[in-house]
Structure 1
Amino acid sequence: MSSNNERSEALARLNDLFGGDSQVSVNNKMLDRLLKATVDLIESDASSLDFKIATTTLEEMTRAFDMFAPYRDKPKVSIFGSARTTPENPIYGLTARTAKALSDSGFMVVTGAGPGIMEAGMLGAGRENSIGVSIRLPFETGANSVIAGDEKYVSMRYFFTRKLMLVKESQAFLCMPGGFGTLDETFELLTLAQTAKSVPVPIVFLEVPGDPFWTPLMDTMEPLLRRHGLISDNDHTLYKIADSIDDAVNEIVGFYANYHSIRFVNDVMYLRMQREIPEEDFKALATEFAFLAADGFIEQTAASGIEVKEADHPELFRVTMRYAGKGFASLRPFIDAINRY
């Protein structure tokens, strides 16, 4: 199809969407911003490379959004680890067994769809409980045999779009020993949590029995960073080093024992729970954790108006506060306290 034909078809589809009876299922303000950004880019001095990056990014994300959509309400764990790990390596078997345990606990497993740890995670979870987001590299042939050809698989050109989908769609993360790529993914997770650019999630570093990896790494790095004032004393709460499969699975499952999710509405944090906390117990918690709120005030409330309008889990119980933390390290002990109920 020529560029003129593609443009004509796109304009005709837009006309059908906005001029006919079709209903666009998206927030009108977000849609207006998307259309304006597109026009701004077209009118800008962007180079052909700039257009290529923007176009490919939107195309890839659209395919990924469509692929994940049917599983939006299914809890998912992303597993990170090395593509170089062979089936003979103990890490491979440990990953497969952990993925199976997570699948048995109701989670789907999301990996980069390549070989090594990515393949092990999918092998353990099974094809039906696996989702793959691969990267196109000259030295990798494509998806592993577990997920190749499945409708729950998408391939990406850019690392940043792939990482976005691996992080955005999951409620927990399991990090296995790996090289530069694995460490890049792992420390981006910590950065997002440290700066509150994501949502609170369990991040688990799983050790191989008898051959520790994460413990010596973090024991070396954290004191150095703290000594230079580059991380906070409580940033260690952003992750957990697990020594066994049970320890890893319990950390992930237990994180959602009562806690469900958060959402910010007009600078107010709405922390959603599956069960209400008894009044007297909550008063004690609100006093103990008052430092988390900018005004010192924490309360149990109903859903906000926008949550009700958007049907964003209005049935759940809520705790609200004007969160004063700069990241989520301070919030983790409060979530742990909520999970006791």
Structure 2
Amino acid sequence: MGKDKGKRRGTRHQGPVIRRHDQVQSTTTDQRLLESRGDTDWVHSDPWRVMRIQSEFVEGFGTLAKVGPGISVFGSARTPKDHPMYAAAVEVGRRLAGAGYATITGGGPGIMEAANKGALEAGGVSVGLGIELPFEDQLNRYVSLGINFRYFFVRKVMFLKYSEGFVVMPGGFGTFDELFEALTLVQTRKITRFPIVLFGSEYWAGLVQWLRQEVAGSAYINPDDLDMLQITDDIDEAVRIVTSFRENGAVPVPPVEG
């Protein structure tokens, strides 16, 4: 019975640490960091977590510093292999490699796997920035350079620091999080000249329409903030937009609201 229980618990990657069988913990590092219930002993251990967070930044910076120019490709981990978007993501990764760019993904299945596959098969650099989650165990097999992170915020810094643009394909909350993080940083000029392409007009049209009518229409953002987003169904155009910044920097930067 003990062996069966161990098999059911599978494998858990926690940063560089691998846990299997009875060593798999029931919560993730992020969950334990954000936990607010229970006793107050955590107050005394939080300062030590700073060292772990620091080590993730050091490991990430050291690993990715020499990757070269890269483009991040985001999208759903649930996209099946026979879906047209999977095939499109493979081609995006392939075209990025042909243009001399590393393809950077979250290292998971679905769209991430597809983009990594295209990059690897084309002889490009295929990067996976994984995250410790209760339901995902490992980086996909097409990642040639991978790092597993414990903390989401460290991982986000790596995406933004080592990418020159984003191709955002259909996805869920994780994809939205990455998209709006980038939009916020460009809007506030924390980063500049950063192209963001929404691939798949049918999927993204409703969101963009809502942003234009409700959010910009209510003056919560400036209308020209939407110029940060470019929608296309054409792979060549998507790759051209995200790689053109290096040549001419022709990416709109909105005025700071004041």
**Equivalent residue in structure 1 for 2:115, among 100, 109, 121:** 121
Q: Name the % identity.
A: 36
Matched ranges for 1:154-303 at <5 A: 154-207=147-200, 212-259=202-249
Deviation of 1:330 (Å): 4.3
Which residue is equivalent to 2:254? 329
Letter in 2 for 1:225: V
Query: How far apart, in 2, do the equivalents of 1:144 and 1:183 lie?
Result: 21
Can you list the C-alpha shifts for 1:308-332, whole angstroms capped at 9, x where unaligned?
A: xxxxxxxxxxxxxxxxxxx93149x
Deviation of 1:257 (Å): 2.4
What root-mean-square deviation, in Å, do the aligned CA atoms of Structure 1 and Structure 2 show?
Answer: 2.1
Letter in 2 for 1:164: V
Which residue is equivalent to 2:141? 145
Deviation of 1:253 (Å): 2.6
Query: How far apart, in 2, do the equivalents of 1:48 and 1:121 lie?
Result: 43
Which residue is equivalent to 2:60? 64
Deviation of 1:168 (Å): 1.1
Q: Look up the SS of the partner of 1:113 in the other structure.
A: coil
**Equivalent residue in structure 1 for 2:103, among 84, 92, 109:** 109
Query: How far apart, in 2, do the equivalents of 1:76 and 1:260 lie?
Result: 17
Can you list the C-alpha shifts for 1:168-211, whole angstroms capped at 9, x where unaligned?
A: 11111110010011001101110110111122211111116xxx
**Equivalent residue in structure 2 for 1:78, among 72, 83, 86:** 72
Query: How far apart, in 2, do the equivalents of 1:199 and 1:52 lie?
Result: 34
Q: Is the 8 A contact 2:71 2:165 kept in 1?
A: yes
Q: TM-score, normalised by structure 2?
A: 0.77
Which residue is equivalent to 1:47? 43
Deviation of 1:260 (Å): 9.5
Q: Which has the larger radius of gyration?
A: 1
Letter in 1 for 2:57: M
Q: Is the 8 A contact 1:195 1:328 kept in 2?
A: no
Can you list the C-alpha shifts for 1:246-280, whole angstroms capped at 9, x where unaligned?
A: 1111212333323399xxxxxxxxxxxxxxxxxxx
**Equivalent residue in structure 1 for 2:84, among 85, 90, 94:** 90
Query: How far apart, in 1, do the equivalents of 2:240 and 2:178 lie?
Result: 22
Letter in 2 for 1:192: L
Query: How far apart, in 2, do the equivalents of 1:100 and 1:134 lie?
Result: 21
Q: Look up the SS of the partner of 1:153 in the other structure.
A: strand
Letter in 1 for 2:228: L
Q: TM-score, normalised by structure 1?
A: 0.59
Find runs of 4+ consecutive structure 1 residues off by over 3 angstroms: none
Which residue is equivalent to 1:21? none
Q: Is the 8 A contact 2:187 2:255 kept in 1?
A: no
Higher relative contact order (CA 8 A, sep 6+): 2
Q: Look up the SS of the partner of 1:70 in the other structure.
A: coil
Which residue is equivalent to 2:26? none
Unmatched 5+ stretches in structure 1: 1-45, 262-326, 332-341
Letter in 2 for 1:100: R
Structure 1 residues 142, 52: CA separation in 2 closer, same or farther (over 3 Å shift)?
farther
Letter in 1 for 2:141: S
Letter in 2 for 1:177: P
Which residue is equivalent to 1:297? none
